[in-house]
Amino acid sequence: MAKNYQKPLAQNRKASFDFFIEETYEAGIELRGTEIKSIRAGRVSLKDAHVRIMNGEAQLINMHIAPYDQGNRFNHDPTRSRKLLLHRAEIDKLYGEVKQKGYTIVPLKLYIKRGFAKVLIGLGKGKKQHDKREDLKQKQMKRDIDRAMKEANQ
């Protein structure tokens, strides 16, 4: 489980709105050529990305990394699937949860840690429409309380 990470270069903000995230894992990403340069420049998006386990490997699908400007012929396909670097036990556990309990694996954040690109993935269960509305109500109430407390302190 990853708790100490640097400022994210990309975040999937919709993930916490669409899923109840129960567990998080930190995974490395297998990159090619100029992809790391585009990631360091912040030209990456996790918007429609998801993780799928195929042939005993975790694959990050639909993560968009923009082609590097000075990459010429060495550039990469922006939305190719990329292998995630996880321990075998973690992959097996994730696979079991997805197959038996109906969980989904979603990427939450992308950041650089000690020179390597890392992605924080979460094991989440989908929210129903009424759950989303309840979350919005809770968020609005917290905002109102914080605003009232700020006014009371001034």
- Tell the CATH superfamily of the 10-127 domain: Small protein B (2.40.280.10)
* Average pLDDT along the chain: 88
Is the pLDDT assigned to residue 30 strictly greater than 80? yes
Lowest-pLDDT range, 22-26, 33-37, 119-123? 33-37
**CA nearest 84: which of 59, 116, 65?**
59
**Domain spans in the chain, listed from the N-terminal domain onward:** 10-127
pTM value is 0.78
> 3-class DSSP state for residue 141?
helix
* Ramachandran angles phi, psi of 5, nearest 5°: -135, 165
Looking at residue 73, what DSSP letter applies? G
Is the pLDDT assigned to residue 4 strictly greater than 60? no
